[in-house]
Amino acid sequence: MHEPLTAAEYTAIARTIELPTNAFIDGSFRPANSGKTFTTTNPATGELLAEIAACDASDVDFAVAKAKAAFDDGRWHLLSPGERKGVLLKFAKLLEDNRHELAVMESLDSGKPVRECQTVDVPDTIHTIRWHAELIDKLYDNTAPVGSKALTMVVREPIGVVGAVLPWNFPLLMLAWKIGPALASGCSIVVKPAQETTLTALRVAELAHEAGIPAGVFNVVTGSGKGVGEPIGLHMDVDMVTFTGSTPTGRRFLRYAADSNLKRVVLECGGKNPAVVLEDAEDLDLVAEHVVTGAFWNMGENCSATSRLIVHSSIKDELLERIGAYMRDWKTGDPLDPENRIGALVSKAHFDKVKSYLDDVKKENLAVAHGGETQKGIYVEPTVVDGVTPSSRLFQEEIFGPILSVTTFNSLAEAVALANDTPYGLTASVYTGSLRKAIKLSREIRAGVVTVNCFGEGDATTPFGGYKESGFGGRDKSIFAHDQYTELKTIWIDVSERSVDETVR
CB 68 within 8 A of CB 60: no
3-state percent helix, strand, coil for the chain, nearest multiple of 5: 40, 20, 35
CB within 8 Å of 186: residues ≥ 6 apart? 76, 77, 78, 79, 84, 157, 158
Q: Which stretch of DSSP H or E encloses residue 226? A: none
Distance (Å, rounded) from C-alpha 161 to C-alpha 186? 10
Q: Is 268 a catalytic residue?
A: yes
Cα–Cα–Cα angle for 497, 499, 505, nearest 5°?
100
Return the beta strands (E) in 365-470 as ranges. 367-370, 374-375, 379-380, 383-386, 403-409, 424-425, 427-431, 449-452, 467-468
Do strands 367-370 and 383-386 pair parallel, antiparallel, or not at all (unpaired)? antiparallel
Interior/surface letters 154-185, b for 16+ CB within 10 angstroms, e for the rest: eebebbbbbbbbbbbbbbbbbbbbbbbbbbbb
Residue 336: half-sphere exposure toward Cβ, Cα within 13 Å: 20
Distance (Å, rounded) from C-alpha 163 to C-alpha 266? 10
Choice among 116, 230, 268, 301 that is catalytic? 268
Q: At what angle do helices 171-185 and 99-110 cross, to 10 degrees?
A: 130
Distance (Å, rounded) from C-alpha 143 to C-alpha 23? 43
CB within 8 Å of 398: residues ≥ 6 apart? 270, 271, 272, 303, 307, 424
Choice among 55, 117, 187, 303 that is catalytic? 303
Segments in 98-170 forming alpha helices (H): 99-110, 114-116, 122-135
Distance (Å, rounded) from C-alpha 200 to C-alpha 198? 6
Taking phi over 0 as left and psi of -120 to 50 as alpha, with beta for the rest, 368 belongs to beta
Q: Which residues are catalytic?
A: 268, 303
